[in-house]
Structure 1
Amino acid sequence: MSDKLLYKDESYFVIGLCMDVHNELGKGFSESVYADALEIELGINGVPYQKEVNYRINYKGKVLKHHYYADFVIDNKIILELKAIEKIASGHVK
């Protein structure tokens, strides 16, 4: 999978920040708690980001009623979805 990453260095750096959050807080919190902590890490490390970005979805020329909400968009390049789960399944990776 790592061969297919468009922004490999940036992705690994952000994953490292996520691991820092996990190592500090441990498991058992909601996604919103981890998001708040990650927002602090991104700020401390000077990583440009947007939180809770809303995307309209177009289907066959029509805008759908429901939107896609990205937890974070890192440097206008990487969409980051947080998951507070026991184990990552293949369906979580996009």
Structure 2
Amino acid sequence: MELTKTYLKDLTYQINGAAIEVHKELGPGLLESVYHKCLKKELSNRKISFKSEFSVPLNFKGLDIETDLRCDLLIENCIVIELKAIEALAPIHQAQILTYMKLLKAPKGILYNFHCINLFNEGQKTFVNEYFKNLPE
């Protein structure tokens, strides 16, 4: 599989479908951990590969540093997913996903906040970075 902008667009569509299905079934008001477990199940059902809650590697001045940074989901080694179930997203949440994308060299990230009425319109933000800009169409 060649990593292209088109591939990422199609994969994003599939991931959004899985997240919307989870939100449609559960609605708002539950803990982030519940949405996380259900989204992992839905992604598996759709045959979308992912890694979950793994330690994000950090290299500081050539040294590998052990951290407590945890990525909620990394889809097919190219899209970072960060999950929230909170009243409102804050700028720190955007900074968090952008940093994870940089550390993991992932071209795309999706931030979901399941504490909303309509996940697609109000509870989802997509981000791209310099890795994305350099990909072929």
TM-score, normalised by the number of residues in structure 2? 0.57
Q: How does 1:1-94 map to 2 (within 5 A)?
A: 7-89=8-90, 91-93=92-94, 94=98
Percent identical pairs in the alignment equals: 37
Q: CA RMSD in A?
A: 2.3
| Structure 2, unpaired ranges of 5+ | 99-137
Displacement of 1:92: 3.2
Report if aligned partners of 2:32, 2:84 keep a CA contact under 8 Å in 1.
yes
Q: Which deviates more from structure 2 when the two are superposed, residues 4-13 or residues 45-54?
A: 4-13
SS in 2 for 1:82: strand
| Structure 1, unpaired ranges of 5+ | none
TM-score, normalised by the number of residues in structure 1? 0.79
Provide, for residues 51-83 of structure 1, a one-character-per-residue CA deviation record: whole Å limited to 9, x for no partner: 112122112223334242111111121111111
Displacement of 1:13: 1.4
Report if aligned partners of 2:56, 2:69 keep a CA contact under 8 Å in 1.
yes
